Structure 1
């Protein structure tokens, strides 16, 4: 449910005693369990580190050749929560690109970078010049094009004609003036080294070149605009670049500025930027973590969320691993601990890329259309980052090859339902790519010893369409929900819990600053044994005090804007749960 931002003590209602919620513990957002998820499946990965207890693990296919394993384990020093994408690099329908917002200095969240591109999964990319130019500070190549080039070699994940490697990579160039050759320090660099020359093109964007030029400290700066190999302008100032189509800017500092200043309008020059290896894709990191299956030599760092790229010994699989950090359920890992995890996962080589609050992994759920957030960012929400390593699938997306059934609400506990309450489910058609495709079918529910849709099943179907159904819990115990369409059948296991014992809310306090603000609350029901199930809005009656409104915000939440001119309290929506909410809140009231 959504309720306005205001202390809950002020929101005493007739149907839902929100005052009692002020003492309730906040409920963490559940980890999503999309279609095709196999709980307890490690995906063949070794996640049983010495001294650890594997608490939760599940694996699901994202696309042909791309699987996602999510896990949580308790180690001697605390909880570790992580996600591993395993990419089969021999799968012909699987490909990769480095994506950004369209400008290398305009950061965006990973979700925003992949939106509408057709990507099926992605992870954050290079370290970047955060809060300044926001440009990557290491070499980036995609589609054979150098996007950011640095003459300093760093460990990088690379692809060349389908062959993967983790190697030291740089990208620099030559400026030829007449018969004289001058070294270029790179392309679209966040900073140009003192005494050097850098090149900037349209991929840089609109960010000022003052920081790359070393201003305000640098006293000798010059720049030149080059179009189609001909100098069109020379100046001693920089600032925000203005580039004609196909144009480039030469930016010099110190001795480099002296070279640029010798250029004249109309003069022909040649600019070339090349990587140290002929690769189609590259994303560089700061340190190697694993070399030849052993810990590399690198300085350790304190625990943090981390993102690492690793390769198996034969180079056939790419392991993309993230671990969460700075939370009660995820302490993060040191660099050494992360390297040890990569070795356990089978990495023969691995490179550390941007982590901390930047660590982000997204993946499309089977039957979905766009990737969704997989990890829990340590900043509390996804950070804007410079770029992302993104995965694409060219497998067929139209023909129906499989079906699946799932609760519409996310989370492991969505497979639970309380007696007398409902669970909404949907049938999903799947293509070869695991993208959603049209399917029209019928649902049945059974329990051990019952007939399909029998009255003696632990759950019954209250209503259904060709693509969705509403179940009601009846008797505690297991139930199997099946969806059959076009001769294909998918199934999901549900559990009807014991009778409702108490309710918790997704937040223990809400506050509101002004008119029009909104806040969201979700409710979770628990039986006497502590097992939980999210409560859908159709099972709720809620009223709110004068000056507020409350309305559904999806199956499992409600929303209310902040106060407007006085309005009468109104019920929302009609209840299938006749007893007052305060009865169930009493354990914590």
Structure 2
């Protein structure tokens, strides 16, 4: 694990809090539930795996590259504009790049400044040198397209015209810890050029003595303390940054006007490397799970690179971490790579950095394939791009995209895209359709360079239908299922309940549910809607100008669905409560009161004073003639209702003579109060709750009568929870049930 003072690596942020996981046995290996492969370019195929293990479903994506294909090319992608100055999401890195068919995130980086921990080489150019830890391997592709997975070494020297020299420790490196625990900057000299960015590194609190020298055209132009350095890195030169003995070398030998030369090299030679990115550990060596240089624990998103077939086939593997994918431990990933046949493999940056984009056949550009762990792409400093440099070919196929299931009596839109013999996209023209009975093309257009056709489906369409398109001498087909009215179970409207401001517009969407449970969207124009408040037009509800409640009734092919509507809620926070309708109904009738800020606070516990006041309104208790006396102080607003409740023999205090008006009323206390006040039905002989034994003896009969009367029930786990406080939402539901029962 990287230990770094004042800096936090992305990989630390991702994995440090994860619980350690034991190395799994072979029985823990995921089972392949499904896999599908698509060619995305010359020598490039993407396979999507749906796996399942003890943790549930896992999505994995395997990008398989044939390095013997002359049209296939890999490139190092760096930052937002080709430098390390600013990171970028992967989709932006490949945006607009000609012939790009895929890209995947690459090396680890420091979260604080976005600078790379490991090596980056781009077309023989050293963007960031190997660090000097000696325990972080590198993925590289040499000029002969051979993959290298190895440890790289770096050495260099800065030399003045007068013969003074000092070792160069790195190029474009952030501060990091060496394996002995010392800081990489201590007594070391580092070079920064425009690939780092436009600005110098600046000062470092760990090294207040640090010096920096600006060199242009081989001549030192300026040398001063790093904390005072505000100049840009020169486009025709570089900056040397040193601390400790290296700072003394700058101060004593790199005075303005001094000629200076810099030389450095890597082993293997960076000038013969096409692509390189840093790793933190081997995953596979000689076809077996490798001893890890570092194991980052936790079931999370993962990225890996490796090869098989003696280096002829390169693999990038991405594991998704999302609500639909459990992620993997590092060791599980290594075993998965072994099952794929990889002989050597390295771990790349994972967690929130894991990103894969690819261009589907017929598409114009790559799109995001995996769902990022954090819900959106993370900004990253480097990535690997995959390109198809084949010339345009002859039309080879058509891809028809659209819904797999449609409902008879509606329509659906399908797009058509073409690909050529080298898997480049091409736009088909003059498409001819072969359609099944009961199907008709009703509209077609070109939108954003893509053909789109809209088709209607009648009850005469076959249950299993095929749309066939022909253009440019090639054909494409789309198999689909046509659902009829007898196959539908229910109509569903979203939102299922509406709380709107006066005059507010709320879009509605409609879906039907088949007998098999499949949910299918239905265009709004095929659904008829009636409403008792406001209006519904073209799938949009428009609230009226008066506060009130109503119902939208939607109908499609014999199915109906109702949506309760509340215009201008009485309380600002009631719409999200499970007791929304009861709260609003009782509020409109003046039975329930809210707070001065317009809220009802449904989840707030009810006090004894609040419950007494509510019962006084429900039961119309007459004002008391005398003054009630309790030892404790009663709230001024509640004195009258408490006195009325005592006069009615409905409200009682505690044996010590107190009332405790602000105490939360428990469920058994409420049952006793409701029993006296509302006189519910006779009790059932036995209470059905698992925790019935916890009901105190003084309240057992009252609880039994309140439950039998339907005013209070248990929870989903068949408990009553007698000592729990009653919430204001529960209070509303209980009173609403009582009033509803009286009305019936």
TM over 0.5: yes
Shift in CA distance, 242/550, structure 1 to aligned 2, threshold 3 Å: farther
- The structure where helix makes up a greater share of residues is 2
Aligned match of 1:4: none
Does residue 257 (structure 1) correspond to residue 247 (structure 2)? The answer is yes
State the distance in 1 between where 2:86 and 2:498 align: 33
Equivalent in 406, 423, 430 of residue 434 of structure 1: 423
Does residue 286 (structure 1) correspond to residue 291 (structure 2)? The answer is no
State the distance in 2 between where 1:550 and 1:259 align: 78
How many corresponding residue pairs? 503
State the distance in 2 between where 1:228 and 1:435 align: 45
Asked if 1 retains the 8 angstrom alpha-carbon contact of 2:395 and 2:473, the reply is no
State the distance in 1 between where 2:224 and 2:536 align: 61
Aligned match of 2:221: 232
Q: So what's the TM-score if we normalise by structure 2?
A: 0.61
State the distance in 2 between where 1:139 and 1:202 align: 17
Shift in CA distance, 208/308, structure 1 to aligned 2, threshold 3 Å: same
Equivalent in 363, 367, 371 of residue 368 of structure 1: 363
Alpha-carbon shift at residue 367 of structure 1 (Å): 1.2
Alpha-carbon shift at residue 419 of structure 1 (Å): 2.1
Equivalent in 59, 67, 72 of residue 81 of structure 1: 59
Aligned match of 1:101: 80
Shift in CA distance, 548/159, structure 1 to aligned 2, threshold 3 Å: farther
Aligned match of 1:147: 127
Aligned match of 1:344: 339
Structure 2 gaps of 5+ residues are 1-25, 176-183, 547-553, 565-577, 582-744
State the distance in 2 between where 1:482 and 1:60 align: 20
Shift in CA distance, 479/364, structure 1 to aligned 2, threshold 3 Å: same
Alpha-carbon shift at residue 217 of structure 1 (Å): 2.4
Shift in CA distance, 389/534, structure 1 to aligned 2, threshold 3 Å: farther
Equivalent in 398, 403, 408 of residue 404 of structure 1: 398
Asked if 2 retains the 8 angstrom alpha-carbon contact of 1:322 and 1:361, the reply is yes
Equivalent in 189, 195, 198 of residue 203 of structure 1: 195
State the distance in 2 between where 1:546 and 1:578 align: 24
Aligned match of 2:489: 501
1:379-416 CA distances to partner (integer Å, 9 max, x unpaired)? Answer: 0111111121111111124x4422313225xxxxx222
Equivalent in 142, 146, 158 of residue 160 of structure 1: 142
Which protein is bigger by CA-based radius of gyration?
2
Q: Which moved more, 1:435-444 or 1:262-271?
A: 435-444
Aligned match of 1:529: 516
1:285-337 CA distances to partner (integer Å, 9 max, x unpaired)? Answer: 11111111111111431211000001114101111001111x33211111100
Shift in CA distance, 403/331, structure 1 to aligned 2, threshold 3 Å: same
Asked if 2 retains the 8 angstrom alpha-carbon contact of 1:312 and 1:318, the reply is yes
Asked if 2 retains the 8 angstrom alpha-carbon contact of 1:121 and 1:362, the reply is yes
Alpha-carbon shift at residue 373 of structure 1 (Å): 0.5
Asked if 2 retains the 8 angstrom alpha-carbon contact of 1:403 and 1:483, the reply is no
Q: Which moved more, 1:372-381 or 1:55-64?
A: 55-64
Asked if 2 retains the 8 angstrom alpha-carbon contact of 1:128 and 1:136, the reply is yes
Alpha-carbon shift at residue 536 of structure 1 (Å): 5.0
Q: What value does the CA root-mean-square deviation take over the aligned residues?
A: 3.9
Asked if 1 retains the 8 angstrom alpha-carbon contact of 2:279 and 2:349, the reply is yes
Alpha-carbon shift at residue 252 of structure 1 (Å): 0.4
Q: What SS does the aligned partner of 1:202 have?
A: coil
Asked if 2 retains the 8 angstrom alpha-carbon contact of 1:501 and 1:584, the reply is no
Greater relative contact order: 1 or 2 (C-alpha under 8 angstroms, separation 6 or more)? 1
Q: What SS does the aligned partner of 1:341 have?
A: helix
Shift in CA distance, 228/282, structure 1 to aligned 2, threshold 3 Å: same
Asked if 2 retains the 8 angstrom alpha-carbon contact of 1:443 and 1:469, the reply is no
Alpha-carbon shift at residue 240 of structure 1 (Å): 5.4
Asked if 1 retains the 8 angstrom alpha-carbon contact of 2:300 and 2:328, the reply is yes
Q: What SS does the aligned partner of 2:206 have?
A: coil
Asked if 1 retains the 8 angstrom alpha-carbon contact of 2:395 and 2:472, the reply is no
Alpha-carbon shift at residue 444 of structure 1 (Å): 3.4
Q: Which moved more, 1:414-423 or 1:373-382?
A: 414-423
- Which residues in structure 2 correspond to 1:396-545 (within 5 Å)? 396-397=391-392, 399-408=393-402, 414-445=403-434, 452-455=435-438, 459-464=439-444, 467-473=451-457, 474=459, 475=461, 477-499=463-485, 500-502=488-490, 524-535=511-522
Aligned match of 1:24: none
Shift in CA distance, 340/543, structure 1 to aligned 2, threshold 3 Å: farther
Aligned match of 1:242: 232
1:152-179 CA distances to partner (integer Å, 9 max, x unpaired)? Answer: 2421211112111211124442212243
Aligned match of 2:318: 322
Alpha-carbon shift at residue 55 of structure 1 (Å): 3.1
